[in-house]
Amino acid sequence: MANILAFLSDSHMVQAVIIGAVMAFLTAVILMNTVFKANSTTVNGWNTTLKCGQPGNGILLRAACAKTLPGVNLAEEAAYWTTTVDSTGRALNGRHKYALHFPAGQLPPNNAFWSLTMTDVAGFMVHNPIDRSSLGDRSGLAPDAGGSIDIYIQSSAPAGHESNWLPAPAGGFKLTLRAYLPGRAILNGQYHLPPVSKVQ
């Protein structure tokens, strides 16, 4: 009888430890998300923060930056934006066609380069027929007659605009734009990425 009681108390202790660990993990995730939201901004559906990588950041902000962003740098080294929604706030999905329109002279200002990357919602690269997962200022993007640039985000190739095509997967996806050695307009918060617009 004593052995049975000891076994039961041990199993309850193990269950309590597991439940406690799960609750601690969930609490940490909630706190990290809350701290990241408080230190980031969302404009035109794009979420960004310039506070990651700064000396003196608390452990929760450091953890939130590491969990949320593809890399943790000082903003002066690299700025990141992510989105999973279009201009109306609806989730991006490869069943639809989208365009990211940069007016003439409004590409992300930088002193190195910028790139736009396509992943699934979890942040993993997705296979596509032309093995293209990103586009940027080194991709030979074709401007229109007025100098603006449209990036076409869809599952099938846009006729006549293949050089500006970023293939989308069949389901939901996430876009991440990085600007390396970002310009002053990014660092002071004046520059905003255009929204990802659904093409009718």
**DSSP assignment letter at 132:** -
Q: Is residue 89 part of a domain?
A: yes
Sign of the alpha-carbon torsion through 146, 151, 155, 161: positive
pLDDT of residue 14: 63
pLDDT of residue 156: 95
pLDDT of residue 38: 54
CATH number of the structural domain spanning residue 135: 2.60.120.600
Q: Is residue 174 part of a domain?
A: yes
pLDDT of residue 75: 85
pLDDT of residue 69: 62
CA distances 107 to 96, 146, 191, Å, are 24, 14, 10
Estimate the crossing angle of helix 2-38 against helix 59-68, to 10 degrees.
80
pLDDT of residue 21: 55
Strand, helix or coil for residue 158: coil
Note the pLDDT tens digit of each residue in 23-58. Answer: 545 554 454 455 455 556 899 999 998 777 667 766
Judge if pTM exceeds 0.85: no
Q: Is residue 164 part of a domain?
A: yes
pLDDT-flagged residues of the chain (< 70): 1-40, 53-54, 57-58, 60-62, 64, 66-72
Q: Which domain holds residue 84?
A: 74-198
How many structural domains compose the chain?
1
